[in-house]
Amino acid sequence: MLKLKGYAGKLARVDLTNHKVRVEDLRWKWILKYIGGKGLGFRYLYEELQPKLDPLSPKNKLIFMTGPLSGTIAPATGKYVVVTKSPRTGTIVDSYFGGTFGARLKFAGFDAIIVEGKAKNPAYLKIEDGKVKVEDASHLWGMGAYDTITTIKSDEGNGKLSVLAIGPAGENLVGLASINVDVIWNAGRGGVGAVMGSKNLKAIAVRGEGRVPIADEEKFKIVSKELTEKSVLTENNIWAKTDGTPAIVDLSQTAGILPTRYFKNGVFEDYDKINTDVVKAYLAEVRACYACPLACKRLVRIRDRVVKAPEYETLATAGSNCGIGDFEAIVDFNYICGNLGIDTISTANTIAFTMELYESGILKRDMLDGIEANFRNKDALLKLAEKIGRNEGVGKTLSNGVRTAIKKFGLNPQKYAVDVKGLEIPGYEPRGTWGMALAYSTSDRGACHLRAWAVSQDAFGSMEPKTFKDKPALVINLENLNSVKWSLIVCDFWLINYNEMATLLSPVWGRIVKPEELKLIGERIWNLGRLFNIREGFSRKDDKLPPKFFNQSLTGGSTAGAKVSEEEFDKALNEYYELRGWNLKGIPKEETLGKLGLKPP
């Protein structure tokens, strides 16, 4: 079997039920077809997971996966991924971290960790130079994620140690639960923290002194340096270094797609109180993922403490969508979510939903533990986030997101739901960017802005935003491209193309990689995710926007009066399926699967 360079060549399979660890070789036959990261994680989960399984059952798998570029000098390759079946949506889900954990896992001798079963008592994993130990975590249970990470680093020695952990939300199986790493980065979406908590796994600490094998190190150094200078540190990407995602606040405001007051408006009167200029005024320092020249992560000084700055998605969902133009309040919200371990996007949208119900008189103070949940009420934002993260009081009703809360409140989902496949809509109002409308609907993990960031081409670019013309092809191309990026793994801040990815991967693998080969791999990975979801019962009926975006018009700004045409949307979805080689039910055709080397579920 061909063993390519760029890999440690091993994975650690951890059976928490029996406290056993087995070290296995990677399945090399899958590498050329799936690379690593998203692709390889999807393949393992698809192969090993029993269909229709409860995501919170011990039989679900939690797969932490790196790619062949992880731990190398290639720029913008510090991310890594967790893959599992989502308790939020029931779909396959891949959620990404930044930082150094992925690099250190490779240095410790592993490309992946597959966690199975459920520990009898709280546990954490300690990984160091080829060894994996299951340690007692009883003393950590109940701690916030930040406190857990700090405690483990203090106990184990901070040097070259990276730690990921869940907070109380994950422990309590809150559907919005996330995983934090090194206090700065999060894998937020899809309830991955709840899966980790369902296994009684509190944290994973990793340290290693190894190296990533490269087939042609000299060529790789030259290529990495050239791409850093000529592609990464250029106008297309440099905004990540100078501003980071907060720069998008002004772009969305101008385009009329900044979600405001639970997706009622596309502009926010206080946008300039939460934009990049405000972040810069509070800026204390910046941090970078492993070997990244962009250093996009911002830390701000608030009331004599330095904490992580909110990203655009948090500024949009906790800020404008809750009607809150108070930057410090959003920073506090961000901190609460990070330490308790909950996804800021879904949490903020669930709170915005609650605020709309409160202002319309459907919810009363006595139903919300005495909280006055008006839009613009920063105290309500923070109190509700605490209750959701701790799964207390009304937080129990809200802790699994909008769709579940609608059922518990006995409301009509046609009127109030703003999600796709159960995952809340991110920070781009789809009535003003129809490319994102299609991207949200076809996303494999539910509403996601990253599967295909089509807004960059329509509302922020040269394409007409309020039409589906050429959008199906655009969305497909981006979904396939990103499937390859996230298998290598390359960060979203580098707008890399197939030629550049092939140029990087060739000297690592030690064989010539062609762009056309990568395009086919991207298509294969996307179709594999589709097969997983079909096996779980998903179909065309789930590739749908919330009715609100078809039936209600936006108010205010350049998109006032805009709504998505349901007729045009259905036509665009048909075109998307046709271009994908799927039938009108959204199922891949036999010839499509044959071309990709896949079989029906």
In contact, 581 and 592? CB cutoff 8 Å: yes
Report helix, strand or coil for 114: strand
State which CATH number among 3.40.605.10, 1.10.3720.10, 3.40.1190.20, 1.10.569.10 fits the domain covering 244-385: 1.10.569.10
pLDDT for res 1:
55
pLDDT for res 2:
66
Sheet holding 185-187, edge to edge: 131-136, 123-128, 201-207, 162-165, 179-181, 185-187
Compute CA 358 distance to the chain's CA centroid, rounded to the nearest angstrom: 30
Give the separation between CA 591 and CA 589, rounded to whole angstroms: 6
Say which residues have a Cβ less than 8 Å from residue 148's Cβ, sequence separation at least 6. Answer: 140, 163, 165, 166, 167, 202, 203
What is the pTM assigned to this prediction?
0.97
How does pLDDT run across 520-577, given as a tens digit for each residue?
Answer: 999 999 999 999 999 999 999 999 999 999 999 999 999 999 999 999 999 999 999 9
Q: Is the pLDDT of residue 453 over 70?
A: yes
Compute CA 383 distance to the chain's CA centroid, rounded to the nearest angstrom: 25
Q: Is the pLDDT of residue 342 over 90?
A: yes
CATH for the stretch 10-207: 3.60.9.10
Exposed, middle or buried: residue 362 (CB in 10 Å: 0-12, 13-18, 19+)?
middle
Strand 423-424 to 419-420 pairing? antiparallel
The domain locations on the chain are: 10-207, 244-385, 424-493+514-596
- Topology (CATH) of 424-493+514-596: 1.10.599
Burial 87-114 (b: 16+ CB within 10 A, else e): bbbbbbbbbbbbbbbbbbbbbbbbbbbb
Say which residues have a Cβ less than 8 Å from residue 126's Cβ, sequence separation at least 6. Answer: 132, 133, 135, 156, 205
Q: How does the average pLDDT of the chain come out, rounded?
A: 97
How does pLDDT run across 258-274, given as a tens digit for each residue?
Answer: 999 999 999 999 999 99
Give the separation between CA 164 and CA 338, rounded to whole angstroms: 12
How does pLDDT run across 110-153, given as a tens digit for each residue?
Answer: 999 999 999 999 999 999 999 999 999 999 999 999 999 999 99
Structure token digits, residue 9:
């060549």
Q: Is the pLDDT of residue 297 over 80?
A: yes
DSSP state of 228: I
Q: Is the pLDDT of residue 434 over 90?
A: yes
